[in-house]
Amino acid sequence: MKYVDEFRDPELITKAAEEIKRLAEPKKHYRLMEVCGGHTHAIYRFGLKDVLPPNIELIHGPGCPVCVLPMGRIDDALSISADPHVIFAAFGDMMRVPGTNGSPLEHKARGMDVRIVYSPSDAIKLAKMNPQKHVLFFAIGFETTAPSTALTLMRAKSEGLHNFSVFCNHVTIIPAIRAILDSPDMRLDGFIGPGHVSTVIGCRPYEWIAKNERKPIVVCGFEPLDLLQSIVMLLTQLQKGEAKVENQYKRVVPWEGNRAALRAMAETFQLRPYFEWRGLGFISQSALRIRDEYAEWDSEQRFHIPGIRVTDPKAAQCGEVLKGVLKPAQCKLFGKECTPENPVGALMVSSEGSCAAYYNYEHRKAALVANIGSAA
Amino acid sequence: MCLAIPGKIVEIASDNPHSALVDVVGMRRKVDLGLLQDDMPVSGDWVLIHVGFAMSKISEVDAIEQMRTLEMLGESEAAVQEVRGYGLEEPQDQQAS
Q: What is the pLDDT of residue A90?
A: 97
Mind listing the pLDDT tens digit for each residue in B44-85? 999 999 999 999 999 999 999 899 889 888 888 889 999 999
Q: What is the pLDDT of residue B96?
A: 39
Q: Count Cβ atoms within 10 A of the Cβ of residue A84 and give its class: 0-12 exposed, 13-18 middle, 19 or more buried.
A: exposed
In whole angstroms, what is the distance from residue A73 CA to residue A81 CA?
13
Mind listing the pLDDT tens digit for each residue in A339-356? 998 888 878 888 888 999
Instruction: Tell me what the mean pLDDT of segment A364-376 comes to.
Output: 65
Q: Which residues in A lie closer than 8 A to residue B87 (C-beta atoms)? A: 122, 125
Do A146 and A256 form a contact (C-beta atoms < 8 A)?
no
Question: Which of B36, B50, B72 is opposite residue A145, by nearest beta carbon?
Answer: B50
Question: pTM for this one?
Answer: 0.93
Mind listing the pLDDT tens digit for each residue in A171-204? 999 999 999 999 887 889 999 999 999 999 999 9
Question: Which of A8, A42, A122 is opposite residue B88, by nearest beta carbon?
Answer: A122
Q: Which residue in B has a C-alpha nearest to residue A92's C-alpha?
A: B96
Question: Which residues, 6 or more positions from A104, have their beta carbon under 8 angstroms from its beta carbon?
Answer: A74, A78, A88, A90, A94, A95, A96, A97, A112, A114, A138
3-state DSSP helix/strand/coil % of chain A, to nearest 5: 45, 20, 35
Alpha carbon of A151: minimum distance to chain B alpha carbons (Å): 7
Q: Which of A98, A260, A255, A275 is nearest to A179 (CA)?
A: A275
Question: Which of A8, A41, A148 is opposite residue B53, by nearest beta carbon?
Answer: A148
Q: Which residues in A lie closer than 8 A to residue B32 (C-beta atoms)? A: 119, 121, 148, 151
More confident residue, A372 or A325: A325
pLDDT band per the 50, 70, 90 thresholds, residue A8: low
DSSP 8-state assignment for residue A298: B
Q: Which residues in B lie closer than 8 A to residue A220 (C-beta atoms)? A: none
Asked if B83 lies within 8 A of A264 by C-beta distance, the reply is no
Asked whether residue A4 carries a pLDDT value surpassing 50, the answer given is: no
Q: Which residues in A lie closer than 8 A to residue B46 (C-beta atoms)? A: none
pLDDT band per the 50, 70, 90 thresholds, residue B94: very low
Do B49 and B31 form a contact (C-beta atoms < 8 A)?
yes
**Helix/strand/coil for B58:** strand
Question: Which of A108, A196, A264 is opposite residue B2, by nearest beta carbon?
Answer: A196
Q: Which residues in A lie closer than 8 A to residue B59 (C-beta atoms)? A: 251
Q: What is the pLDDT of residue B31?
A: 97
Average pLDDT, chain A: 92
Task: For an interface test with A, give the residue of B18, B27, B35 to mutate (most A CBs within 10 A).
Answer: B35
Instruction: Tell me what the mean pLDDT of segment A355-369 comes to.
Output: 82
Q: What is the pLDDT of residue A372?
A: 62
Question: Which of B4, B36, B52 is opposite residue A119, by nearest beta carbon?
Answer: B52
Alpha-helical regions (H) of A134-275: 146-158, 173-182, 196-201, 207-211, 224-240, 259-268
3-state DSSP helix/strand/coil % of chain B, to nearest 5: 30, 30, 35
Bridge partners, A31 (sequence order): A57
**Helix/strand/coil for A24:** coil
Mind listing the pLDDT tens digit for each residue in A195-254? 999 999 999 999 999 999 999 999 999 999 999 999 999 999 999 999 999 999 999 999
Do A201 and A105 form a contact (C-beta atoms < 8 A)?
no
Q: Which residues in A lie closer than 8 A to residue B81 (C-beta atoms)? A: 92
